Amino acid sequence: MKTLNMMEKEKKAASLKMIWVAIGLMAFLITSCNENNVDADTSAEDQESVEFDNQDDYYLDDVDDMASIQLEKETGSSGGKISEESDQRLSCAEITRTGTEESGTIVIDFGEGCTGPRGNVRKGKLVIDYSGRRNDPGSFWTIEFENYFINGISIEGIRKVNNISESGSGVLIFKVDMENGLMTWPDGRQGKRTIHRVREHHLDDNKLLDRLIVYGTAEGNHRNGRGYFIEILEPLVYTRACKQQGVFIPVEGVKLIKHGERQITVDYGDGECDNIVVITNKNGRSWRHQVGN
């Protein structure tokens, strides 16, 4: 038969056990709630970072593409076949060149408004100062913005491009740098971007750009004031075939984005022509996201 003392001890032990169970349950619930809140908050903020980065890249790379195509047309290379690809974005712009094929200045003037084939409205000028023929190793050019706008967004700064290709390699390689490029939105918000990247142009038999491979870094702050650092972990691949299907983002490669205490990787896939990326946060949570939505 249990003594009164033994029964009291068992009662205390049971009470203590219940207290620890309650504490454990509360800790679990608090942790679960915090994880859910962090995940929900991170998803929205990280998706915004992906969208902002994609848009900033698009507007700045758009300028590189137009300048590169016009330089190809004006200067080409000292030997071999060059592309005769036309750029419909420039169809309503006034283009002038001073100097020779070896060095000079090209001005692309969009006037007070020039609507491109995708509905983008550009105005102002792009001033390209070049030395050497565009396709020749060692050539160099700068792109300066003069009251340049695209869709009401002002872009300021100077982009510097060096041809670092090896002679006879069959691949055109360009080093692109921009320090503190400034983008101003119609509502007055601003974003800054510093870029150090390499762009490899892989051409087809007709000397048309078939694959564009990009790697390097970017940093600055988005128009919401949030600072960021971006490193391309696996080269980003853009393809001509996907571009013709309306896919203008990379279709391969992985990018690391750091902003504040947050960190995500963006995986662009394995070459399929779509606007789907997989975002993974530093907690290991992954989700699919359609860029542009």
Q: Which 3-state string (H, E, C) describes 153-180?
A: EEEECEEEEEECCCCCCCEEEEEEEEEE
Rg for the chain (alpha carbons), in Å? 27
Contact 29, 273 (CB under 8 A): no
Mean pLDDT score across all residues of the chain:
85
Residue 101 is classified by DSSP as S
Among 57, 44, 49, 119, which Cα is nearest to 249's?
57
- In tens, the pLDDT along 92-146 reads 999 999 999 999 999 999 999 999 988 999 999 999 999 999 999 999 999 999 9
pLDDT grade, residue 205 (50/70/90)? confident
For residue 91, give the 3-state DSSP assignment. Answer: coil
Among 116, 49, 61, 39, which Cα is nearest to 291's?
49
CA distance 190 to 209: 33
For residue 145, give the 3-state DSSP assignment. Answer: strand
Residue 202: strand pairing partners: 171, 211
Compute how many other C-beta atoms are within 10 angstroms of the C-beta atom of residue 39: 14
Contact 257, 242 (CB under 8 A): no
Look at residue 32 and tell me whether its pLDDT is greater than 50. Answer: no
Residue 266 is classified by DSSP as E
- In tens, the pLDDT along 245-269 reads 999 999 999 999 998 888 999 999 9
- Chain centre distance of CA 61: 9
Strand-pair category, 94-99 with 286-290: unpaired
CA angle 293, 64, 142 (to 5 degrees): 145
Residue 127 is classified by DSSP as E
Q: How many residues are recorded in the chain?
A: 293
Tell me, what's the pLDDT at 37? 38
